Amino acid sequence: MSDHQAPEPHETNDLAPVDTPVPWRRVHPVSPLVRGWLAVVAIAFVYGQNTLSSFFGDEEPTPGPEMVSEAPLMLSLLIGAGVLVLILLGFFLSWRFTKYQITERHVNVNSGIVFRQQRQARIDRVQSIDIAQPLVARIFGLAELRFDVADSGSAAMNLAFVKLSEAHQLRNEILARAAGLKDPAAPAPLTEPAPGHGTGIETPPEAPQPAAAQGLGASERVVAAVPVGRLIGSILLRPTTMIMVLGLIGLGIAMSMFEGFAPFYLLPAFLGMAGALWNNLNTGYNFKAAASADGLRLSYGLLDTRHQTVPPGRVAAIKVSAPFFWRKLGWYKVAVNVAGIGGAGNEAQERSVLLPVGSYEDVLAVLSVVLPDPGVEAPREFFAAAINGAGTTAGFVVSPTKIRPLSPLAYKRQGYALTDTALVARNGALHRTLAIVPHARTQGLMLRQGPLARRFGVLDLSLATISGPVSALVHQLDVAVGRELFLEQADRAAAARKQTDSNHWLGDA
């Protein structure tokens, strides 16, 4: 991805890479309003309130001729009309100077009125593409494309806003190219000239998509869905929720000991807790995971909806977790590390979730899409032992019994297993976790040993992947076992990377 000043997109640009000439297209004309509606409402509210209060306040109007008394009203109306014209002009110019282009190798977006900006993303480095619909965009039937590019650490580029149908078409087309799919036939034209325009800017088509893109968008099979009741129950049974509730109760009890205390004083803390709970509900509402040709497609959201695609070849690590209060109900959560989405922010954490809460069958269905080849002959039995088992069943190597004083509950469970395609690390006794790291996605290995670990003759093995919520760690291995695993896993990772195409993650089709 690059970010630099650029001239008009239809003119020659020496800084841009050489690509087959492709027409530039515009976003939807309503896009500036969708992006700036909040500012418009705020200006209108402040201006309207001040204007109305000045004319309908309690103060007596100053006596004078009729023309003079009406002048302030006429002046206010003229000022308001002028502000409206300036806003509309700004919206028009913003739309006029925002253009995008999709070539065989790049996605380009040009924007800016005074300071021109060109943003570019290589298609073969695109990790995933989200289709987001904020509340106002849903009213107009529009959507925003958010591109995640390798090594960017966050959304590298946004394209806002286009029609929802066009957004799905663009996503399928770009992901087909990113996956390395080849279309034997010549692709159909992506655009057709807009009548009366000779500027090189084209309007979005209603023409057929190339065969590869049609294959990606042809069908989806829902593999997991989250009922509203289960979602609410999982939110209430989360440890963080219980800590917030107990903390609020404790704060209320402590403050009630002071004279003059009123429950109203707890309102800020209550609003903070309510906001966190609402965020979990909003992002998990109507959650569906569907298998498609380009990977796992996620859709969720109550007010703001999002459609997200997670290609299996871009997944660097997977985590299955079972909090203590969920285990009796058989609920689990699945999260991943995906290149381009990594980070510690709330949005990055939300987008890394493949299943906010689901049954064991839901977990297997999701894993079958993002980890199509687990590398074992009996995946169901293996993952049953990995998620809920203990001891050496299913080929697991566990911590030695000598570390029982350090981990009295977890020493029988924590350990690892090797499959033909991944290393699986199992941890936790009360809060159970399972980390899966494909050999080809292992970026580094590290042995760690603290003072107590040296005393008991054990060490930890950490597997480095891209940033995200999954931290793959094998706890408290015997020193000899850990060193042997360290050397062997380094060789496995190197051999697996040589056989993997890091750019074209579906291969030729």
| Residue range 76-90, pLDDT digits in tens | 777 777 887 888 888
Whole-number Å distance between alpha carbons of 346 and 270: 20
Average pLDDT over residues 424-429: 95
pLDDT of residue 436: 97
Average confidence (pLDDT) over 209-218: 51
Residue 192 has pLDDT above 70, yes or no: no
Residue 412 CA to its chain's centroid (Å): 35
Across the range 169-181, mean pLDDT stands at 79
Span 397-410, pLDDT tens digits: 999 999 999 999 99
How much is the pLDDT for 160? Answer: 85
Mean pLDDT of 41-53: 70
Rounded to whole angstroms, how far apart are CA atoms 354 and 341?
A: 13
pLDDT at 20: 58
73-126 per-position pLDDT tens digit: 677 777 777 887 888 888 888 888 888 988 888 888 988 888 888 888 888 888
Percentage above 90 pLDDT, the chain = 44
pLDDT at position 496, please?
Answer: 93
239-263 tens-digit pLDDT: 899 999 999 899 888 888 888 888 8
410-418 long-range contacts (CB < 8 A, ≥24 apart) are 410/475, 411/476, 413/389, 414/474, 414/475, 414/476, 415/474, 415/477, 416/461, 416/474, 416/477, 416/485, 417/382, 417/386, 418/492
Tokens matching residue 239? 């440890």
- Give residue 473's pLDDT: 95
Kindly state the average pLDDT of the residues 348-368.
93
